[in-house]
């Protein structure tokens, strides 16, 4: 269907006084004595295009005045009184009618209400802005890595190994469990892959394989976690950006993470000014300044042991008690980033017991070269580490965790054949979107959220 994007109507000055055809959904419609007005949106921009209908013109417009109906409009682009562009309609075709029970009648609905209709909420200003910012951020991430000689690799989504070792894998199977099997082993051997398989929680282990050949790689795809966490920042299916860098130590990983976050935010501020103004007005007052501030200062770096000291000295009554060795909870992460440093903070060198087997063991024998990036308002958005490159040390860590080394044979061979210092991180894409937009529930920054007890 030949037509012009509404974004193009607003941005191309040569369009004025020309005949154009636009398509879209009716966002508002009102009548005055001689003229009818329709605001049309086609999803290419947050701004609605005003269609002006002269009631004397003979255009049949009544059926086009229903909220939610889809139209094709041909008319002349003229300057509007507000200094923008509007269309003086010459013909209107209703492509799809929309009855009055259309649920998006009000100007503003709550996000909770909109969550009940994932198929329609994309037609609200909020989701229009979120989805476009998300798209621009995805491109910025690819651009960032491509510009720096990283190779984009696609790691498998079905895997036999639980990378994080936290037992949060969804099982992939073609047969239901039956009492006819004498053991789990027998059951799995009968299954599609001949052994237990699941959806990947992280592409890191295969990412390491690729980095040991290509030097610098990144993945950008979905990860799956069967975590029973019904929180505003956990999804069962989230998008995961995972660079893996050969010939790199922990400070190199930290430097790359900071530089990537800053580049992505810079791009959003430059490419999505009206979306960001919208978030500033409706979600988090001052967000544009906060992001400008963030990217113009160095992120803080704080050792885990120091973070524990700061939390203990805070005098706060945290819900989860603080002791050296404990994992940091969201309340701790937010205290550190929002109240102590008041900016983004990398927390480094966590106790080995609370981190994964693959992290480089520090000389103190107690901690590993891990890093989490904490940001105000959200908490952790990145988790990463330098990897343990020594065969004996990594196998010892796996044995301590009672892991089945046979399942990791290929991965371990990387430590046998030309092992190098290397590291990387995982960025939760939706968590970064939450931070950039000020939208406080992760369910509202993805088209279809998957969370415990909810799928549609």
User: Which of 330, 286, 296 is closest to 311 using CA atoms?
Assistant: 330
Nearer to ligand 4AD, 220 or 278 (CB): 220
Give min distance, CB of 232 to ligand 4AD, in A: 10
- Indicate the burial class of 117 (C-beta count within 10 angstroms; 0-12, 13-18, 19 or more): middle
Q: Is 411 in the site for ligand 4AD (CB under 6 A)?
A: no
- Positive/negative CA dihedral, 393, 395, 398, 400: negative
Contacts of 366 (CB under 8 A, 6+ apart): 351, 352
206 near ligand 4AD (CB under 6 A): no
Contacts with ligand 4AD by CB under 6 A: the residue count is 23
240 near ligand 4AD, rule: CB under 6 A: yes
152-171 positions binding ligand 4AD, by CB under 6 A: 163-164
Question: Which residues within the stretch 214-233 sit at the binding site for ligand 4AD (CB under 6 A)?
Answer: 225, 227
Q: Helix (H) and strand (E) counts for the chain? A: 13, 15
Q: Which is nearer to ligand 4AD, 8 or 227 (CB)?
A: 227
Residues 384-403 that bind ligand 4AD (CB under 6 A): 384-385
* Cα–Cα distance for residue pair 371/68, rounded to 1 Å: 47
Q: Quick one: CA torsion of 104, 109, 112, 115, rounded to 10 degrees?
A: 30
- Using CB under 6 A as the binding rule, the residues of this chain from 103 to 132 that contact ligand 4AD are none
Q: Among 198, 376, 421, 424, indicate the residue that binds ligand 4AD (CB under 6 A).
A: 424
Q: Identify which of residues 218 and 278 has a Cβ nearer to ligand 4AD in the complex.
A: 218
Contact segment (CB under 6 A) with ligand 4AD among 53-61, 76-84, 319-327, 377-385 equals 377-385
Q: Assess 426 for contact with ligand 4AD (CB under 6 A).
A: yes
Q: Verify binding: residue 202, ligand 4AD, rule CB under 6 A.
A: yes
Q: How far is the CB of 342 from ligand 4AD (least distance, A)?
A: 21
- Token output for 2: 């030949």
Q: What is the contact surface with ligand 4AD in residues (CB under 6 A)?
A: 163-164, 202, 204, 225, 227, 234-235, 238, 240, 242, 380-385, 424-426, 428, 430-431
């Amino acid at each position: 269907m030949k037509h012009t994007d509404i974004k193009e109507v607003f941005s191309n000055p040569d369009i004025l006084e020309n005949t154009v055809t636009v398509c879209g959904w009716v966002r508002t419609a009102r009548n005055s004595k001689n003229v009818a007005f329709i605001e049309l949106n086609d999803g290419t921009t947050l701004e609605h295009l005003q269609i002006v209908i002269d009631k004397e013109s003979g255009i049949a417009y009544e059926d086009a005045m229903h909220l939610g109906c889809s139209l094709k409009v041909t008319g002349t682009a003229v300057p509007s009184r507000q200094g923008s562009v509007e269309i003086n309609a010459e013909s209107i075709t209703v492509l799809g009618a929309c009855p009055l029970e259309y649920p998006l009648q009000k100007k503003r609905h709550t996000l909770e209400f909109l969550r009940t209709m994932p198929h329609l909420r994309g037609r609200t200003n909020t989701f229009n802005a979120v989805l476009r910012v998300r798209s621009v951020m995805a491109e910025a991430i690819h651009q960032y890595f491509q510009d720096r000689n990283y190779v984009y690799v696609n790691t498998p989504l079905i895997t036999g190994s639980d990378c994080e070792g936290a037992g949060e894998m969804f099982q992939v199977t073609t047969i239901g469990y039956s009492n006819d099997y004498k053991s789990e082993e027998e059951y799995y051997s009968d299954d599609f892959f001949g052994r237990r398989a699941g959806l990947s929680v992280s592409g890191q282990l295969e990412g390491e394989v690729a980095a040991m050949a290509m030097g610098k790689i990144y993945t950008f795809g979905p990860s799956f976690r069967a975590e029973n966490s019904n929180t505003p920042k956990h999804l069962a299916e989230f998008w995961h950006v995972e660079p893996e860098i050969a010939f790199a130590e922990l400070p190199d990983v930290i430097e790359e993470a900071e530089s990537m976050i800053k580049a992505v935010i810079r791009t959003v501020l430059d490419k999505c000014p009206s979306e960001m103004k919208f978030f500033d007005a409706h979600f988090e007052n001052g967000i544009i300044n906060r992001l400008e501030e963030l990217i113009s200062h160095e992120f803080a770096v704080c050792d885990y042991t120091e973070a524990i000291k700061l939390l203990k000295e805070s005098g706060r009554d945290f819900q989860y008690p603080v002791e050296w060795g404990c994992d940091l909870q969201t309340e701790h992460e937010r205290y550190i980033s929002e109240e102590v440093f008041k900016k983004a903070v990398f927390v480094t060198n966590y106790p080995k017991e609370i981190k994964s087997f693959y992290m480089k063991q520090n000389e103190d024998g107690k901690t590993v070269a891990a890093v989490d990036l904490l940001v105000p308002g959200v908490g952790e958005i990145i988790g990463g580490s330098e990897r343990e490159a020594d065969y004996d040390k990594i196998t010892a860590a796996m044995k301590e965790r009672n892991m089945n080394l046979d399942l990791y044979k290929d991965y371990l061979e990387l430590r046998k054949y030309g092992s190098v210092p290397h590291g990387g991180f995982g960025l939760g894409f939706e968590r970064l979107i939450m931070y950039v937009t000020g939208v406080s529930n992760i369910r509202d920054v993805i088209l279809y959220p998957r969370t415990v007890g909810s799928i549609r």
